[in-house]
Amino acid sequence: MASRKDFMETLYRESSGRIFDFLYKYTGNPEIASDLMQDTFLNFFKKYSDSDLNKEQALKLLYTIARNRSINHAKKFSTVKESGSDDMGHYKEEGQSFVRKAELSDLETRLMECLGDLEEGERYALVLKNIENYTLADIAEVMDISVATASRLVVKATAKLLEIAKSKQILPM
């Protein structure tokens, strides 16, 4: 039992940041993302602490739970995203000029706003594919859809995001 407890502690330590980032990109609010992350792990630990999952399976379940919790939260509170406050750290290449970092940060902020204009499923698919680097099969498993549907969703969401970015005149340099 001690090894299972160690597994759960390691899983939390190594995955909580990724789950927080995923939730933050969906909610746009660090406090809500933090609450949902804690709720996600609590739910996972209650239901799966005695199961014999490996790390990859556990992470997919965590993303599924996080997605469902955030959907429930959005439906329950019908929150409006707060803009301006950005408490998340940004990981950029070292050696970039200050001006280039500022440009990239501004572009990232504006693209995150565009991401908020997508439908829920489209937003999740893009975040999982492009930010979390999930395969289409993994996205399908997390979202409980077929691989073909996941593929169509990613393509549709990408096209829609580009249209939104064009309409807002957000063009990367």
Class of domain 97-172: mainly alpha
Burial 44-83 (b: 16+ CB within 10 A, else e): beeebeeeebeeeebbbbbbbbbbebbeebeeeeeeeeee
pTM: 0.57
Going from the C-alpha of 143 to that of each of 55, 72, 150, the distances in angstroms are 18, 14, 8
Query: What pLDDT was estimated at residue 83?
Result: 42
pLDDT number for residue 98: 62
| Helical H segments across 82-171, by residue range | 98-115, 120-126, 136-143, 147-167
Domain map (residue ranges) of the chain: 1-82, 97-172
What does the pLDDT profile of the chain (173 residues) look like in tens digits?
Answer: 558 788 888 989 999 999 999 888 888 888 999 999 999 998 898 888 888 888 888 898 999 999 888 888 887 776 444 444 444 444 434 455 666 666 666 666 777 777 778 888 888 888 888 878 888 888 998 899 998 999 899 999 888 988 888 888 876 54
